[in-house]
Amino acid sequence: MMSTNQGEELRSQPDAALTTMNAVRLHSAQGPAGLVYEQIPVPGPGPGEVLVRVRAAAITRDELDWPVDRLPAIPSYEFSGVVARLGAGVSDLATGDEVFALSPFDRDGAAAEYILVPAHVLAPKPHNLDYTQSAAIPLAALSAWQGLFAHGGLTAGQRVLIHGAAGGVGSFAVQLARQRGAEVIGTTSAAGLEMARKAGAGQVIDYTVTPFEQIVGDVDLVFDTAGGERLARSHQVIRTGGRLVSVAAVPSQESAAARGIQAIFFVVSPNRAQLIEIGKLADEGLLQPSIDQVFDLADARAAFEHSLHPHRPGKIVLRVSNTPHH
């Protein structure tokens, strides 16, 4: 972080020779097949914006369905990197600051050598984590945080059932719920059993073997990251007055009304204050990203294809080149 004077000095410097960058863009709504690795102009920061040199960017299954009304679009909405340029009015950041963030969904993402973001979404990158680990945190951990605490109202001593407990969002949800003092039950396929236990779930159910509703009941909250059958069968395991929160699909309101519970679907939003708390937990070793695989930016199509494999635990990260094209 820096003083306003230093910031003014940097802003008044002439532009460096940054003109083009390597980026991955979705050109057609065809999933991974619609991605093109190409060179495009480096965007310049407007007032309140910051240009960040991306070091690593993480991806989320199904995210290529999100920007189809604004193509071509750069995917990946969570990243770590280094502040490269400041727009007018940005006084609490300096070039060279190491940052991480969830970027807004209505603009280009981080699968590129540079990303332009509003300054207010950036938080200091955790010191004790590398760029790859840090990039795997913001979208998934903020989804878990907002799902459990803001929408789910989870408090110490309550019981929560987390579907997809070894997934990108789910493994953070297990860790955060446990730290909050909740009793955590997770569902996962066999591939994620060990990861869900390690993350802190007191009970882990392989839902492909045992229907969870036969052994779980009266929970205060179900946090769903899987959708489908697991979401559809969840209403019945929640106590009257409890909540069903999903990031994966919209839950049935009819079933919720019939059971006397609240059913909520939400879209995660950038939140610097929450991300700072999450970063502190990561620095203290209390929150760990689980990384499935790392791909080079140029191999983003393979990374997105990999994300679609069912029963695949952990996050997928794109490593962005250290030598940007000028």
By CB under 6 A, name the binding residues for ligand NAP: 60-63, 139-140, 143, 164, 166-170, 188-189, 191-192, 225-226, 228, 247-248, 267-268, 308, 310-313
Residue 150 CB, nearest approach to ligand NAP (Å): 12
Token pair 């840090």 is found at 134
Residue 146 CB, nearest approach to ligand NAP (Å): 8
Output the CA torsion sign for 166, 172, 173, 174: positive
Residue 163 CB, nearest approach to ligand NAP (Å): 7
* 201 vs 238 by CB, closer to ligand NAP: 201
Token pair 């340029």 is found at 85
Give the integer Cα–Cα distance in Å for 53 and 176. 29
Residue 100 CB, nearest approach to ligand NAP (Å): 16
Residue 248 CB, nearest approach to ligand NAP (Å): 4
Minimal CB distance residue for ligand NAP: 167
Token pair 């050109």 is found at 27
Contact criterion met (CB below 8 Å) for 145 and 274: yes
SS3 content of the chain, % helix, strand, coil (to 5): 30, 30, 40
* 288 vs 321 by CB, closer to ligand NAP: 288
* 25 vs 312 by CB, closer to ligand NAP: 312
Give the integer Cα–Cα distance in Å for 144 and 200. 14
* 188 vs 274 by CB, closer to ligand NAP: 188
Q: What is the largest CA-CA distance in the chain?
A: 66
- What tokens does 26 get? 């979705």
* 60 vs 234 by CB, closer to ligand NAP: 60
